[in-house]
Amino acid sequence: RVLFRSMRAFRGLYAVTPDCADTGVLSGKVEAVLAAGVNLLQYRNKSAGPALRLEQARALQALCRRYAAALIINDDVELAANIDADGVHVGIDDWTLADTRARLGEHKIIGVSCYDQLARGREAANAGADYIAFGSFFASSVKPNAVRAPLSLLREARAFGRPLVAIGGITLENARQLIDAGADAVAVISALFDVADPANSARGFCQLFEAQIA
């Protein structure tokens, strides 16, 4: 398994699951993108109740272990703890970073949403966040009212010394400019899972990062 808390490895396509009530369908799509090379997965389902969230998180945890990928849970620190996920992603209305670290332990990944706020990113880095997420950089169908973040935010946030994740309306056509601006990873939902061939889309995103290294 890649040691993600070395954090140099926290790079590439960060797949974020769509709301889906059918665990079998969700698992099938997730396995397709994991097999295509994705090694970062965030389980996010804002419409599911606790029982379904637990069922789905367990199913995805099994898949991530099979493909040596990291599973991050969106918002739900207790769920992350209960299934021994690799980490959690918290927003402005969720647990504090200190409380999250106390609950999960030093070896887990904690990512923090910082929206369009450079100061929040600095605070998160200073408090020990493992990665910092900014966005929405483009219009998003998942969060149509999300505040927009400028590309310059990524360039400025490089000084914080933490991996940077770009989120919001990211497609194969616009991801390159985020990578060029300093994003270590791009978090994608719709352009990955709401397409006819998720595996092909995943390969396309992964190739963007491979091309930059080359």
Show which residues are catalytic. Answer: 44, 113, 143
DSSP string, 44-99: --SS--HHHHHHHHHHHHHHHHHTT-EEEEES-HHHHHHHT-SEEEE-TTS--HHH
Q: Are 206 and 13 in contact (CB under 8 A)?
A: yes
Tokens of 55: 């069922």
Q: Which residues on neighbouring strands pair with residue 116, listed in sequence order?
A: none
E runs forming strands in 80-210: 87-90, 109-113, 131-134, 164-167, 185-188
Nearest CA among 165, 148, 41, 187 for reference residue 112: 165
Provide CB contacts within 8 A for 105, sequence distance 6+.
Answer: none
| Angle CA 81–86–89, to nearest 5 | 80
